[in-house]
Chains A and B, each alone.
Chain A
Amino acid sequence: MTKDTNSTQSSRRLFLKRGALLAAPLAAAVPAAVIADDGLKARLARLEDEAAIRKVHHAWLRRVNSMKTVNVGVGDAATPLLANFEGTALDQTVRSIAADHAGEPDAIEVAADGTRAVGRFQCAVEIENAIAQDCTLAQMAHAQGGGFVRQTERRVLKVEYRKIGGAWAIARAEFAPV
Chain B
Amino acid sequence: MPGTPYPKEQMHRIVYTKLSEQQIADKLSAVSGPTSASPLADVFAGKSIRIVTDKGPALAYTFREANRLSVAENGAGAVEAGYGALTQGNVAFVSHMIPNTQRGYAVVIDQGTNLATVFELWFSGYEDKREVQREIYYGYVEQPGQEAPKNRHVATNRVEGKGFYWKQDNGAETLEFYPSAAYSHFVELSRLGGELGFCGPSDYIKIDENRYIYTRTECEFSGTFTAYVMDLNRIEQVGVRLGFNANDALEYYVFRGKGEWLGQLAQFEKFGDESGNPVPAAAPGQTPAKGARRVYRPFKTMAKMTPAQVDAVCAKHTSAFAPRAIAPGPNAPAASMAGNLGPNTDWLAGKTFTLRYDHAPAMEYRFDDAEALNWRKEGGNWTKAPYRAYVSSPGVILFGHLLEGEPNHDGHSIVADFDQGLVTCFNGFLNTPYFANEAGVKIHFGVIEMEGLIPPKYRRHVLTDEMVGRAVSQNYAPGLTSMHLYSTPHSLSWIIFTGTDAGGLEWSGPASYVKIRNGLYFMYWLEEACNGTLGTILVNLHTMRDVGIGYNCGENGLNMSAMGAHERRAGQFDVRRFYQVKSDGGAV
Does B423 reach chain A (CB closer than 8 Å)?
A: no
Partner of A140, one of B330, B335, B499, B505: B505
Q: Given A136, A150, A151, which contacts B527 in the complex, CB threshold below 8 Å?
A: A136
Smallest Cβ-Cβ distance to B477: which chain A residue: A131
Q: Is the CB of B504 within 8 A of A137?
A: no
A79: B residues at CB distance < 8 A: none
Set of chain A residues within 8 Å of B335, measured between Cβ atoms: 132, 134
B332 within 8 A of A: yes
B527 proximity list for chain A (CB < 8 A): 136
B498 touches A137 (CB 8 A): no
Other A-B contacts than A135-B563, A144-B496, 8 sampled, CB-CB below 8 A, are A132-B324, A134-B336, A135-B334, A136-B298, A139-B531, A144-B296, A145-B283, A149-B479
A148 and B507 form a contact (CB under 8 A): no
- The chain A residue with its CB closest to the CB of B482 is A137
- Any chain A CB within 8 A of the CB of B540? no
Q: B99-131, CB under 8 A of A: which get 1 and which 0?
A: 000000000000000000000000000000000
Q: What's the nearest-Cβ distance from chain B to residue A140, in Å?
A: 4
Report Cα–Cα, A137/B527, bound state, in Å: 11
Contact residues in A for B182 (Cβ distance below 8 Å)? 144
What CA separation (Å) do A148 and B478 show in the bound complex?
9
CA distance A139 to B563 in the complex (A): 16
The reply to whether A146 and B334 contact each other, CB–CB distance below 8 Å, is no
B275 CB → nearest A CB, Å: 15
The verdict on A141 contacting B480 (CB below 8 Å), with A68-B285, A132-B324, A134-B332 known, is yes
CB of A77 to closest CB in B, whole Å: 18
Question: Does the CB pair A146–B479 fall under 8 Å?
Answer: yes
> What's the Cα separation between A46 and B422 when bound, in Å?
81
Could you jot down 11 A-B contacts, CB within 8 Å? A131-B479, A134-B330, A137-B482, A137-B494, A139-B330, A140-B504, A143-B294, A144-B498, A145-B283, A146-B498, A149-B479
C-alpha spacing A150/B337, complex, angstroms = 17
User: Are B296 and A140 closer than 8 Å at their CB atoms?
Assistant: yes
Closest Cβ of chain A: how far from B167's Cβ, in Å?
Answer: 32
**Cross-interface CB contact of A133 among B330, B478, B505, B550, cutoff 8 Å:** B330
Interface residues of B in 265-287 (CB under 8 A from A): 279-280, 283-285
Contacts A143-B294, A144-B294; is A137 near B283 (CB within 8 Å)?
A: no
Which residue on chain B has the smallest CB distance to residue A141? B496
Q: Are A146 and B296 in contact (CB under 8 A)?
A: no
Q: A143-B505, A146-B499 are in contact. Are A137 and B336 (CB under 8 A)?
A: yes
Q: How far does the alpha carbon of A147 sit from the alpha carbon of B498 in the complex, in Å?
A: 9
Interface centre among A134, A140, A147, A148, by most chain B C-beta atoms within 10 angstroms, is: A134
Which 6 A-B pairs give the minimum distances between C-beta atoms? Answer: A135-B334, A149-B479, A144-B504, A140-B496, A144-B279, A134-B332
Interface-central residue, A135, A138, A149, by most chain B CB under 10 Å:
A135
Chain B, residue nearest A137 (CB): B482
Residues of A within 8 Å of B333, CB to CB, are: 134
Bitwise interface map of B from 311 to 352 toward A, beta carbon under 8 Å scored 1, else 0: 000000000000010000011111111000000000000000
Question: What bracket does the count of chain A residues touching chain B fall in?
Answer: 20 to 34
Within 8 A of B (CB), among A12-48: none
Residues of B within 8 A of A145 (CB): 279-280, 283-284, 294, 498
A134 touches B504 (CB 8 A): no
B196 within 8 A of A: no
Residues from chain B with Cβ under 8 Å of A140 in the complex: 296, 496, 504-505, 507
Q: CA of A136 to CA of B509 in the docked complex: distance in angstroms? A: 12
**B507 partner residues in chain A, CB cutoff 8 A:** 136, 140
Say which residue of A68, A131, A148, A151 sits within 8 Å of B336 (CB atoms).
A131
B553 to chain A, nearest CB (A): 14
Contact B533 A136 (CB under 8 A): yes
B residues 547-580 near A (Cβ < 8 Å) are: 550, 563
Main secondary structure of the interface of B (DSSP, over half): loop
In contact, B479 and A143 (Cβ under 8 angstroms): no
Which parts of B470-508 form the interface with A (CB within 8 Å)? 476-480, 482, 494, 496, 498-499, 504-505, 507
B530 CB–A CB distance under 8 Å: yes
Q: A132 near B336 (CB under 8 angstroms)?
A: yes
User: Shortest beta-carbon distance, B281 to chain A, in Å?
Assistant: 10
In the complex, how many angstroms separate the beta carbon of A40 from the nearest chain B beta carbon? 50
User: Cβ of B477: which chain A residues have Cβ within 8 Å of it?
Assistant: 131, 149
Query: Contact: B324 with A137, CB < 8 Å?
Result: no
Residue of B nearest to A148 (CB): B479
- In the complex, the answer to whether B505 meets A135 with C-beta atoms within 8 Å is no
Expressed in whole angstroms, the Cα–Cα distance for A133 and B285 within the complex equals 23
Write out the residue numbers on chain B whose beta carbons fall within 8 Å of the beta carbon of A138: 334, 336-337, 480
A134 to B498, alpha carbons, bound, how many Å? 18
Report how far A97 CA is from B337 CA in the complex, Å.
30
Nearest A residue to B479 via CB reads A149
A136-B330 in contact given A143-B294, A145-B279, A145-B294 (Cβ < 8 Å): no
Contact of A146 among B332, B476, B504, B563 (CB under 8 A): B504
Q: Which residues in B have their C-beta under 8 angstroms from that of A148?
A: 479, 499
Residues of A within 8 A of B533 (CB): 135-136
A143: B residues at CB distance < 8 A:
294, 296, 505
- When C-beta atoms are compared, the residue in chain B nearest to A69 turns out to be B284
Which A residues are CB-close (under 8 A) to B285? 68
Distance (whole angstroms) from the CB of B509 to the closest CB of chain A: 10
Q: Which residues of B contact A151 (CB under 8 A)?
A: 478
- B334 touching A134, Cβ below 8 Å: yes
Taking the closest CB of chain B, its distance from the CB of A135, in whole angstroms, is: 4
Q: Are B324's CB and A135's CB within 8 A?
A: no
CB pair B496 A137 closer than 8 Å: yes
User: How far does the alpha carbon of A154 sit from the alpha carbon of B283 in the complex, in Å?
Assistant: 29
A149 and B337 contact, CB distance less than 8 A: no
**Residues on A with beta carbons closer than 8 Å to the beta carbon of B496:** 137, 140-141, 144, 146
Nearest-Cβ distance from residue B567 to partner chain A, whole angstroms: 14
> A144 contacts which chain B residues (CB < 8 A)?
182, 279, 294, 296, 496, 498, 504-505
Closest B residue by C-beta to A150: B479
Contacts of B283 on A, CB cut-off 8 Å? 145
A173 to B7, CA, bound (A): 63
Q: How far is the CB of B499 from chain A (nearest CB, A)?
A: 5
B-side contacts of A136, CB under 8 Å: 298, 494, 507, 527, 530-531, 533
A149 to B478, CA, bound (A): 6
Cα-based distance from A136 to B478 in the complex (angstroms): 16
Contact status A134-B324, CB under 8 Å:
yes
Taking a contact as CB atoms under 8 Å apart, the answer to whether B479 and A137 are in contact is no
Cα–Cα distance between A135 and B482 once the two chains are bound (Å) = 12
Measured in the bound complex, the distance between the Cα atoms of B319 and A8 in whole Å is 59
Find chain B residues with CB under 8 A from A135 CB: 334, 336-337, 533, 550, 563
A138 to B482, CA, bound (A): 10
| CA gap between A136 and B279 in the complex, in Å | 17
